[in-house]
Structure 1
Amino acid sequence: MLTDLDLGSLWEYRSSYRRPADFDSFWDSTLAEARSLELKVEAVPVDTPLRTLDVFDVTFPGFGGDRIRAWLRTPRGASGLPAVVQYHGYGGNRGSAAENLTWASAGFAHLQVEVRDQRGGTGFMTRGIADRSTYFYRRVFVDAVRAVDAVRALGSADVAVIGNSQGGGIALAVAGLVPDLVAVHAQAPFLCDFRRALNVCGRPPYTELTTYLAENRRSSVFPTLSYFDGVGFAARAIAPAWFSIGLMDDIVPPSTVFGAYHAYAGPRQIQVWEHSAHEAGGSDDLDIALDAFRSRLEMP
């Protein structure tokens, strides 16, 4: 069943979110601080049973210089390829070295980034939420931008960002913070249009925020969240973007995705999967992104 507005209403919906006056300066100073640290990228070859791909265990400095890990997968012996940087869903991890092989098999350098601290955990939505400077996602978004810096340091000039759910929300944030990306794929992006999400969604992880508000009745999360809302980042993003959403998604309300989609400053398309839930079309949607990226990222 539908979990949110009908499709006609979704096309009409516009988010009530408004960016803080110092949104840009906050993020400009945050990234300047992160980039003042030396970008020391290490890529160690990993022995796998794969015959057609090379895999590297990559580390690079994220927020505060903390070492962030990622897998880099490339066609065997190739270098200087256009790169696809992928961020994973809430509570997930980068998986094993020999899985998630689609993008490298399609001829791209594929950097799969591990979100800090999230190997099966929860509670990240409220971690450090009392202040924008201490909020958990400030660290995550900086890590994600530094991942783009890292893959460029490894030889990829053209870079796209992708993700599902939390990963899609992170990809949108990076699109708003890195102006020269080539493409974006945000599949059922989480972390968008927070006020709307908290009003209509009764499932985790958004309920971490509603539970916090219920238990701290004199507190408000919205002053902090206003600096981390995907709608705000979308308004700064100019790379061609492909969004997707399932109308039966009860984890990421479709209206919140449309809120970000309608605010997106660059060329954009959205694929609506009428009978999909949070998978937002799954592999069929991935096929659309693969075709789109082949036309956008210059292959050697």
Structure 2
Amino acid sequence: MALFDLPPDELRAYRSVSVGPADFDAFWTKTLQEAREHELDVRFEPVDTGLKTLQVYDVTFAGFGGHPVKGWLTVPASVDGPLPTVVEFVGYGGGRGLPHVHLLWASAGFAHFVMDTRGQGSAWGGGGTPDPVGSAPAFPGFMTRGVEDPETYYYRRLFTDGVRAVEAARAHPLTDASRTAAVGISQGGGITLAVGGLVPDLVAVAPDVPFLCDFPRATTLTDRQPYREIGNYLKTHRGRTERVMRTLSYFDGVHFAARGRAPALFSAALEDQTCPPSTVFAAFNAWAHDDKKVEVYDFNDHEGGGPYQEAVKLRWLAARF
């Protein structure tokens, strides 16, 4: 696959044409206030996984609408003090999976909370969190569920779950609320950007090849799924482009990035046609905190840096904790 997007020097200067709605902050303030009208009701149930060096808890907490959301909390065995905490969000179609899949962060001495993704987890990983909210007609997938109104859009619920996941992770006595970071790949990176823009006191965020950024460019540059779901919806529902793009502007990672208040480590892959590098750089260039860095993988597709990026993140997070 050849490079298809802007050359590296132009990526460094690229700015999205996406315009944030005037009531962006009011919309999200109202959304989170409504979510917090429900008790967090977080529960941690110890799980016998057979892992000798780690302790795992099956977590349930109240997300958007008070709906129960699942997660795993994994900590080093026999710890007796609050630990720096990594909250992780997973990629499109996936769920929290089985706990022994998530060993990296706790093995490094951190507490690790991975959030299940409502309504997903049937393409890979396995999930256990339903999405009890229906929607108007949508193209198969999640990108167009409720997409004609920001109040009903699927990602309003999911991003709210992400903020509540941070609150749930911080509720355990073995986590240090003052040392909490958010990480994620692809869709997980998009949720990370949203959480980074909505939670003011994270110590770090690390979105890898993030999805859900720069919708005006992404939806017209790549024909890969999941972005293509939006085009397929508009191909059938003619004349609704302006309304759909207005909804998406409330969920664009570029606008959350403009409100980012923590050091950030991004990654981008120059052959990535799923999350084109210009859309990643749109969010990176908009990130408001001065302490930011992007790792670029020249000849990689959506796998990005893979284990190489994990090694970079381990060192980077350790320095910030």
Q: Normalising to structure 2: TM-score of the pair? A: 0.91
- 1:199 equivalent in structure 2: 220
- Native 8 Å contact 2:13 2:285 kept in 1: no
Alignment correspondent of 2:131? none
Q: CA deviation at 1:109?
A: 0.5
CA-to-partner distance for each residue in 1:191-229, whole Å, 9 max, x for gaps?
000010011111000000010111111112101001000
Q: Which residue of 1 aligns with 2:255?
A: 232
Q: By how many angstroms is 1:234 displaced?
A: 0.2
The alignment's C-alpha RMSD in Å is: 0.9
- Distance in 2 (alpha carbons) for counterparts of 1:50 and 1:182: 29
Alignment partner of 1:293 is 2:293: no
Q: Counterpart amino acid of 1:73?
A: T
Alignment of 1:143-158 (within 5 A): 143-155=161-173, 156=175, 157=177, 158=179
In structure 2, the residue matched to 1:119 is 121
3-state SS, counterpart of residue 162 of structure 1: strand
Structure 1 unaligned runs (5+)?
A: none
**Aligned counterpart, 1:48:** 49
1:212-231 correspondence to structure 2 within 5 Å = 212-220=233-241, 221-231=244-254
Matched, 1:248 2:249: no
Counterpart residue type for residue 142 of structure 1? T
Runs of 4+ in 1 over 3 A off after TM superposition: none
Other-structure match for 2:90? 88
Q: TM-score, normalised by structure 1?
A: 0.97
Q: 2:181 aligns with which of 147, 160, 176?
A: 160
In percent, how many aligned pairs have the same letter? 52
* Residue ranges of structure 2 left out of the alignment (5+ in a row): 124-139
CA deviations over 1:108-132 (Å, ceiling 9, x no partner): 1000111101022551000011110
Which residue among 136, 140, 160 is the counterpart of 2:154? Answer: 136
Q: Using the alignment, how far apart are the partners of 2:148 and 2:24 within structure 1?
A: 17
Deviation at 1:190, TM superposition (A): 0.1
Pairs within 5 Å for 1:270-285: 270-285=294-309
CA distance in 2, matches of 1:200, 1:33: 36
Mapped pair 1:8 → 2:9 = yes
Structure 2: which amino acid aligns with 1:148? V
SS of structure 2 residue aligned to 1:126: coil
1:66 maps to: 67
CA distance in 1, matches of 2:37, 2:171: 15
Secondary structure at the counterpart of residue 112 of structure 1:
strand
In structure 1, C-alpha distance between the alignment counterparts of 2:273 and 2:88, rounded to whole Å: 23
- Partner of 2:48, secondary structure, is coil
Mapped partners of 1:262, 1:254: distance in 2: 12
User: Match for 1:175: what amino acid?
Assistant: G
Tell me the number of residue pairs that the alignment of Structure 1 and Structure 2 aligns.
297
Query: Deviations along 1:206-264, whole A, 9 cap, x unmatched?
Result: 00001011111111210100100000000001100000011011100000000001100
